[in-house]
Structure 1
Amino acid sequence: MEASSTPEPVLRAGDLEVRPDEGLALAAGRTLMLSVREFGLLVALTARAGHIVGRDDLFAEVWGGSLRHGDRSVDVYVHKLRVKLESAVPHVRWIHTHVGFGYRLEPEPAAPPVTGASHPFHTEGTPR
């Protein structure tokens, strides 16, 4: 079997750049240290940025088989990938979960952390 001579295109979404042929992913110019599975998920999600990708489809593409009932591999690796992306670029939320459907990669501003007095359920000092 002969390797394809056509290079895979560089994938981009916001400050994320993925180079499938090089096994390289950059978030805001920072190299991400990813496992093979994490990188495969990132390629699959970035290639379909803005679209929901089903867990079955992700498993088939990255693991090369059929997702068995109860298998949480995709969810575990998406979590690991999410943590790495959000550590590299903390002001951006990259991967969004669509319960019952799958995952969507789309850079969106992260919500600011909720602190004491700005929390909507904060009751300290509230008159009774």
Structure 2
Amino acid sequence: MEAAQTDDVLYAGELEVRPNDGLVLAAGRALTLSVREFGLLVALVQRTGRIVSRAELYRLVWGSDLRDGDRSIDVYVHKLRVKLETALPAWAFIHTHVGFGYRFSPEASHVFHNSTTSR
């Protein structure tokens, strides 16, 4: 599934991102994101399907160069994943490419559990 863009609104399945309004809706419900989480999500959604390096994400969201050993991107990606997976548990949105970066691509989650499946 790819993200679609309509008049400054980005759609990825049940996820709607409105960069100009600072708003993210998951199945119609507003998500509470920090400024960095929101910036990271917008940067990734705008590059749907493409692997984006940690350094590029840092430049886009923080506005400066990533320092050696800085794990800020990884921390914020984790926080963002938790919020997205809590809001839309049947979907995985952000995928890690070890040694390369992160890719935004909405995919049905393989670890989705409900009352009829075992954990």
TM over 0.5, yes or no?
yes
TM-score range, shorter chain: 0.7 to 0.9
Structure 1 vs Structure 2 CA RMSD: 1.5
Aligned partner of residue 48 in structure 1, secondary structure:
coil
Q: Any gaps of 5 or more consecutive residues in structure 2?
A: 1-6
TM-score w.r.t. length of structure 2 = 0.86
Amino acid at match of 2:28: G
In the comparison of the two structures, how many residue pairs are matched?
109
TM-score w.r.t. length of structure 1 = 0.80
Percent identity between matched residues is 64
Aligned partner of residue 106 in structure 2, secondary structure:
strand
Q: Which has the higher strand share?
A: 2
Separation in structure 2 between the aligned mates of residue 104 and residue 28 of structure 1, nearest angstrom: 21
Q: Which 4+ runs in 1 deviate beyond 3 A?
A: 112-116
Partner of 1:61: 60
| Greater relative contact order (CA < 8 Å, ≥ 6 in sequence) | 2
Give the drift of 1:15.
1.4
Amino acid at match of 1:37: R
Q: Any gaps of 5 or more consecutive residues in structure 1?
A: 1-7, 117-128
Aligned partner of residue 56 in structure 2, secondary structure:
helix
